[in-house]
Structure 1
């Protein structure tokens, strides 16, 4: 059974969540079961306030989450070699305190506490290699705290920087590994376990320098992946393009090409037959979602007659009813359906009016809906590199271009002059779970398949302004919208024909 242990020593309370096996007989040590604390909060407060205590020292985050509001002491120390979690920080800023000592917290929380005249002291010796900082484009410690993805290129880089990063970070979802050895994989897993990171994927980029060793250890890696799959952790191979191309052209034979052609013919036939089925399944899931979050469905029904070409009809008289009334009140229900929901996107005069999801890669929601079903239509999702609590300079949202118009099928409407000349259409709604946001369209264009517009962060203001100037120059219309170096932008991206993309950019409105 879990209990809270509180030891009085040198005018300090030392607080730890432990179990009943650790009981010791000592007049200066108190034990409270979690159930007792829940039922007797006022009594516990009186007992703890009866001692003259200068400071509370928390030895783990769990004990603070239970005891924080029951302590009347003004000074708090977290004797934990790790940054404060967001759950801890959200509780901390609600307390009546005047001093905090901890390993690290991000600047937005420092600002909140400073406004309340709270003195903050950090006790850490963080040091990172220059190459690690440059390779991951870290600008400050705050960016390390919120970072969801990191990359390593050498074993030495892993061993010198991973531990320090995990002590600071609170958001990691993905490690891109461009080097491989069995020892380094085991080292990474041990460090992730030590600092209690669970939902983290390790992507091993296979290339000419590590391919032989990876092939030798494939069975070991499969077993390891199976072992950790219950913790939402995976080990996955990514083939470097140059390495893949070299191998594929060496190994393919004429007969192989013939087989591929026959396969492609059958695949094309299968895709044609299944296309309508998948879009109908997507339509049913949208209706199910409306029912699950108890909202009134819209009057627009599925229409599979929409052309998949780049030609569209005049949309000036088309009006779509908002499918999801009372959007902010639905998040709790949505999160019970899918914990990956991070916000809601609505583009006027289109069918784009959906919850937005995000996971630790940009592949899953290309083929899965909000319920986790595997479907061709996918779902609308945010780039895994983006943060939602603290927005990046460029937040990117993707969706499939479907014939039925669902997902981003009607993003094509934005290229019609009758759409973009209507000022109401130019204001996009993209809300996070705790913030309502409006975005003003400033660029719409088609472009060859490229990653140039998919940068999420910028080292310098000049680099960002140059990026903005470039995407403005591609626009089909001059929207006369100013974007400054302090602004943040939203990017919507979908397919537009073979190897082309349709892109819409909007700037966050004050």
Structure 2
């Protein structure tokens, strides 16, 4: 009997130790991922704000100095044509119609050249860089946006999709994390009221700011979208839009009828997993409405 008690006690100690170790790892991993994202967010947005301030000054004809100390009167036209950046270089970013510069992707690429864009979904915590590994589509499932190993990974697109987001359907993947980070927030769109009040997705690349209007949030089939549907074929583009109403779990899916999306539009698909339906994907789909503030 004493041996049994000793065994059970030892088993309990081992179990507690393992649980503590796993808990510590998960906490540390979550904290590191959050810190990494916060650091990149500061780089992305602070540089963009500085660039915006530079353009604002240039538009009023503010006198600036060259490295030699010579005064130059920078006109609004010059600032626009040269895409004046906060560091004094040209071509750093493109302005929107409002005069604001996008997220500074070029600054982020100094941390990791795989960063191709930034995605923001108002009403959720989704405000993250998007990566694209040049050869390994699974890399950012287990690595953060600076290439460090992380169970949180980083939102990413695959090599079959263009970095410009000008394919018919660009699919962005992200984990459904227990701590609510990454693309866990997509599940908020299962609520019709939330969806009605939050219809926007913004993607910033090195050259443009693209605004999408969400028209579908569905528990989708396990089809591998980028390879199941050929974006170059009109029939496949039409088939994808149709599948949003047919290849789904209907009680957990919403397709709004106020946007008539056709094969002539461009769309973005944000995709994550579901905790219960492991063989399904939850996707939020938006149609491109504006580029740099101009309607498309």
TM-score if structure 2 supplies the norm length?
0.65
CA distance in 1, matches of 2:179, 2:101: 24
Quote the residue 1:396 is aligned against: 171
Pairing of 1:283-432 with structure 2 (within 5 A): 283-293=34-44, 295=46, 328-359=102-133, 360-389=135-164, 391-422=166-197, 425-432=198-205
The question of whether the paired residues in 1 share the 8 Å contact of 2:167 and 2:231 is answered with no
**Cα deviations by residue, 1:11-42 (Å, 9 ceiling, x for unpaired):** xxxxxxxxxxxxxxxxxxxxxxxxxxxxxxxx
Quote the residue 1:505 is aligned against: 285
After the TM superposition, list the runs of 4 or more consecutive aligned residues in structure 1 that deviate by more than 6 angstroms.
none
**Cα deviations by residue, 1:438-493 (Å, 9 ceiling, x for unpaired):** 11212111135332576463353123212211113436223111112211211111
Please list every run of 5 or more consecutive structure 2 residues that lacks an aligned counterpart in the other structure.
1-14, 48-99, 290-295
Question: Does residue 274 in structure 1 map to residue 25 in structure 2?
Answer: yes
The offset of 1:376, in angstroms, is 0.9
Quote the residue 1:309 is aligned against: none
CA distance in 1, matches of 2:131, 2:175: 14
Pairing of 1:483-498 with structure 2 (within 5 A): 483-497=261-275, 498=278
SS at match of 1:382: coil
Quote the residue 2:210 is aligned against: 437
CA distance in 2, matches of 1:395, 1:472: 19
CA distance in 1, matches of 2:103, 2:255: 37
Residues 395 and 271 of structure 1: CA distance in aligned 2, closer, same or farther (over 3 Å): farther
Residues 291 and 366 of structure 1: CA distance in aligned 2, closer, same or farther (over 3 Å): same
**Cα deviations by residue, 1:400-421 (Å, 9 ceiling, x for unpaired):** 1112222112111111122112
The question of whether the paired residues in 1 share the 8 Å contact of 2:267 and 2:286 is answered with yes
Number of positions where the alignment pairs a residue of Structure 1 with one of Structure 2: 214
Pairing of 1:70-89 with structure 2 (within 5 A): none
SS at match of 1:502: strand
Quote the residue 1:482 is aligned against: 260
The offset of 1:331, in angstroms, is 1.9
CA distance in 1, matches of 2:216, 2:129: 23
CA distance in 2, matches of 1:328, 1:365: 24
**Cα deviations by residue, 1:333-369 (Å, 9 ceiling, x for unpaired):** 1111111111111111000011211113221111111
The question of whether the paired residues in 2 share the 8 Å contact of 1:487 and 1:507 is answered with yes
The offset of 1:495, in angstroms, is 1.1
Pairing of 1:106-145 with structure 2 (within 5 A): none
The offset of 1:431, in angstroms, is 2.4
SS at match of 1:409: helix
CA distance in 2, matches of 1:416, 1:453: 27
CA distance in 2, matches of 1:461, 1:448: 21
**What CA RMSD, in Å, does the superposition of the two structures yield over aligned residues?**
2.6
SS at match of 2:143: coil
CA distance in 2, matches of 1:348, 1:467: 25
Quote the residue 1:461 is aligned against: 234
CA distance in 1, matches of 2:103, 2:231: 34
Residues 339 and 459 of structure 1: CA distance in aligned 2, closer, same or farther (over 3 Å): closer
Pairing of 1:225-304 with structure 2 (within 5 A): 269=19, 271-293=22-44, 295=46
Residues 394 and 456 of structure 1: CA distance in aligned 2, closer, same or farther (over 3 Å): farther
Please list every run of 5 or more consecutive structure 1 residues that lacks an aligned counterpart in the other structure.
1-264, 297-325
CA distance in 2, matches of 1:294, 1:479: 32
Quote the residue 1:316 is aligned against: none
CA distance in 1, matches of 2:230, 2:188: 29
CA distance in 2, matches of 1:343, 1:351: 17
CA distance in 2, matches of 1:371, 1:460: 35
